[in-house]
Amino acid sequence: MIPFLRMFLIHLWVACIAGAVAIAGLAMGYVSVWTFVWAAVIGVVLGMPGGLLNWAYLRPNRSRQIGWTWKIANLVRSAGRPRRADTQDPA
């Protein structure tokens, strides 16, 4: 089965980041093919982990089943939960 949510989030993140980088480059006057090449590279490099971490935040049980138990994934999952006042911050 195709993981539609994961694929959608990755594509959305990559497109948004690449679009923002392309707009920033064009606004600064870099009007060439290389502006779009760099936008695509930066979009993929930053968008892939961003989309996967967003998916891990939305689907915590499923992401644990496939091995996303890294410290950063747990940090992303816990970022959306309110902290209790009686616990200490581990950081």
Most confident of 18-32, 47-61, 68-82: 18-32
- What is the Cα–Cα distance from 49 to 35, expressed in whole angstroms? 22
User: Between these two residues, 26 and 67, which has the higher pLDDT value?
Assistant: 26
- pLDDT-based confidence at residue 59 (cuts at 50, 70, 90): confident
User: Who's near 69: CB < 8 A, 6+ residues apart?
Assistant: none
82 DSSP 8-state letter: P
Claim: this prediction has a pTM higher than 0.85 = no
Query: Nearest 10 degrees: CA dihedral of 28, 30, 31, 36?
Result: -100
**Domain chopping of the chain, boundaries:** 7-76
- What is the Cα–Cα distance from 47 to 66, expressed in whole angstroms? 20
- pLDDT of residue 6 exceeding 80, the answer is yes
